[in-house]
Amino acid sequence: MRRPVGRPSALAVVAVVAPLLTVGAALLTDTRVGPDGPGDRAPEEVALTSATLVCPTGQGGGVLVASDADPDAAGGSEGRVTALVGKEEREVEIVPGAATRLDDADEVAGSGSSAPGLVAQRYGGPGLRAVDCPATSSDQWFTGVGAGAEHRSVLELHNPDEGPATATITVLGQSGPVGAGGELRGVSVAGGATTRIELGSAIPKREELTLRVTTDRGRLAATVIDSFVPVGRGETIKEYLAGQREPATSQLLLGLPADVEEPAVVVANTSDSAARVSLRLVTAESTFAPTGLEEVLVDPQSVRRFSLSRVLGSDVAEGVLGIEVVSSQPTTASFRGRVDGDLLTVVPQGPVVTATLVPVPLPGARLVLGGAEALGTVTVLALDERGREVDERVVEVGPDLAVEVPVPDGATLLRVVPRGTAVQGVLRLRSGAGAAVVGLRELVRVGLVPDVRPGLVVPGQPRQPDQSGSSGE
């Protein structure tokens, strides 16, 4: 027999509702309701326990490896540096304060106390080529690449992990986005493999191009090998084109030689609005806009090339050490020219705040510093192949100025320490075969672990992945 259904008693209502209110209040107490919530906390810094650098393919020359690690770092764990050549792993002996020279390396990895402050540099030919071996990055820009018969570029994507990785490649040209939607989606790279994309085959185009490489899955390191193939007779000239982390409204291209031929700056407007772009010359005394370099309008999502032959060939360019690119919208940029018939490329560098290292593969190099945000000094310590001091000097830096520091013979490694201000810098190499410019970068010394706590998940917002104390970007 069914009992009549009556209204619940007040006590029953309280018994059911009270626990629900308690749970709800507990959830709402944690204000981290989304990735941009007011309760978000910065990731925690932890000891860096592993670091991987990827060196692009090369011809001749070799790879220089150094570390600024503190032996007591990473909790005092034993440090180890290895180089991967193909599938063969080799132990690398690191002498404190010295650069170790290797015949070849696809990857350079540091673990334990050897992970923080790891650097590697690839150098070789034809001509003179050199580039800092990058870590993996989730987003990179390459400005001024080619996909035509004469100007050809190859994008190298290397996956240092065991699992597969994928990337999306967005292409901008002088007339706007290139290809179907301007993107090459889902480029897959197998674990431990390198994928080479010939742009002339993938997107044949006789104009200046810019690539954006975005990693969608896994980890990837990207580098471009730029080349010019002369029509008729002549040798192909090549150079590495390093990536740029993000667009900016002020960019510094340092390390220009005095005798560069066919100089040009390529600018990509990455925004959805037209950008006003102007170029300024940077010397040891000032930064100025010379007559003949007028402000130019660059269309949204498009690329523009500025020829500098007339300006840099005039008396007004005497003593020029760099070019500043100023724009009303975020842009990317690169400098390109020829030195003794060899191809030269220069890209913007990020600010360096703490001590950094740059290997010196050849004698006759020069360190060029600029981009100081305030008055300050930079200590430059030159070390030989055994880690012994060759020379030490302190130079003054300031806003809107650049300074050139000759590297003494016998130096194979520079330790550069800014004080009082962040700076940007490059190492300019020169030989009878040509010239090359390698950027300085802030060394990775710590790992980041996100602050993950229970909280409400906002619909449509993905959970933040866990990370360990290893280098990613």
The alpha-helical segments, DSSP class H, found in 118-266 are: 199-202
Q: What is the pLDDT of residues 173-228, one digit of tens each?
A: 999 999 755 568 889 999 999 999 999 989 999 999 999 999 999 999 999 999 99
Q: Is residue 212 part of a domain?
A: no
Secondary structure (DSSP) of 41-97: -PPEEEE--EEEEEPPP-EEEEEEEEE---TT-GGGPPPEEEEEETTEEEE----TT
Residue 283 and residue 311 in one domain:
yes
Q: 24-30 contacts: CB < 8 A, separation 24 or more?
A: 27/454, 27/455, 27/456, 28/456, 30/453, 30/454, 30/455, 30/456
- End-of-domain residue from the set 348, 370, 387: 348
d(CA 213, CA 220): 9
Q: In this structure, are residues 225 and 329 in contact, taking their beta carbons and an 8 Å threshold? A: no
Q: Which of 380, 365, 370, 383 is nearest to 437 (CA)?
A: 365
d(CA 241, CA 72): 36
Burial class of residue 285, CB neighbours in 10 A (0-12, 13-18, 19+): exposed
d(CA 129, CA 342): 9
Mean pLDDT of the chain: 86
Residue 341 and residue 384 in one domain:
no
- Secondary element (H or E) of residue 309: helix 309-312
pTM of the model: 0.85
Q: Is residue 450 part of a domain?
A: no
- End-of-domain residue from the set 320, 348, 376: 348
Q: In this structure, are residues 237 and 409 in contact, taking their beta carbons and an 8 Å threshold? A: no
d(CA 244, CA 212): 9
Residue 341 and residue 255 in one domain:
yes
| pLDDT reported for residue 40 | 60
- End-of-domain residue from the set 327, 348, 369: 348
Question: Where do the DSSP E strands lie in 133-236?
Answer: 139-147, 151-158, 165-173, 176-177, 183-189, 194-198, 205-217, 221-228
Q: Is residue 382 part of a domain?
A: yes
Q: Is residue 70 part of a domain?
A: no
Q: In this structure, are residues 244 and 348 in contact, taking their beta carbons and an 8 Å threshold? A: yes
Looking at residue 20, the DSSP 8-state letter turns out to be: H
Residue 276 and residue 306 in one domain:
yes
Which amino acid is located at 280 in the chain? R
Residue 304 and residue 360 in one domain:
no
Which amino acid is located at 115 in the chain? A
Q: Per residue, what are the HEC states of 83-136?
A: EEECCEEEECCCCCCCCEEECCCCEEEEEHHHCCCEEEEEEEECCCEEEECCCC
| pLDDT reported for residue 129 | 96
Residue 324 and residue 394 in one domain:
no
d(CA 201, CA 223): 18
Residue 317 and residue 380 in one domain:
no
- In tens digits, the chain (473 residues) has pLDDT values of 444 444 444 444 444 444 444 444 444 444 444 444 555 666 777 778 899 999 999 888 999 999 998 655 445 557 899 999 988 999 999 988 999 999 999 999 999 888 999 999 999 988 999 999 999 999 999 999 999 989 999 999 999 999 999 999 999 999 999 975 556 888 999 999 999 999 998 999 999 999 999 999 999 999 999 999 877 667 889 999 999 999 999 999 999 998 999 999 999 999 999 999 999 999 999 999 998 888 999 999 999 999 999 999 999 999 999 999 999 999 999 999 999 999 999 999 999 999 999 999 999 999 999 999 999 999 999 999 999 999 999 999 999 999 999 999 999 999 999 999 999 999 999 999 999 999 999 999 887 666 655 554 444 444 333 334 444 44
d(CA 161, CA 470): 13
Residue 355 and residue 433 in one domain:
yes
Residue 326 and residue 358 in one domain:
no
Q: What is the pLDDT of residues 32-68, one digit of tens each?
A: 444 445 556 667 777 788 999 999 998 889 999 999 9
3-state secondary structure of 332: strand
Domain count, the chain: 2
Task: Give the pair of three-digit tokens for residue 32.
Answer: 């981290």
d(CA 357, CA 436): 17
| pLDDT reported for residue 189 | 96
Residue 296 and residue 316 in one domain:
yes
Q: Is residue 217 part of a domain?
A: no
Q: How many CA atoms lie within 13 A of 139 on its CB side?
A: 4
For residue 4, give Cα distances in angstroms to 1, 7, 8, 392.
10, 10, 12, 95
In this structure, the strands spanning 389-397 and 376-383 are antiparallel
| Phi and psi angles of residue 17, each rounded to the nearest 5 degrees, phi first | -75, -35
| pLDDT reported for residue 48 | 86
Q: Is residue 365 part of a domain?
A: yes
Which amino acid is located at 91 in the chain? E
Q: Is residue 120 part of a domain?
A: no
Give residues with Cβ within 8 angstroms of 201, minimum separation 6. Answer: none
Domain extent for 341: 251-348
Residue 333 and residue 289 in one domain:
yes
For residue 383, give Cα distances in angstroms to 35, 285, 331, 353, 467.
45, 29, 37, 21, 36
3-state secondary structure of 241: strand
Whichever domain contains 361, its CATH number is 2.60.290.11
Residue 363 and residue 374 in one domain:
yes
Q: Is residue 257 part of a domain?
A: yes
Q: In this structure, are residues 237 and 227 in contact, taking their beta carbons and an 8 Å threshold? A: yes
Q: Find tokens 């100089």 and name the residue.
A: 263
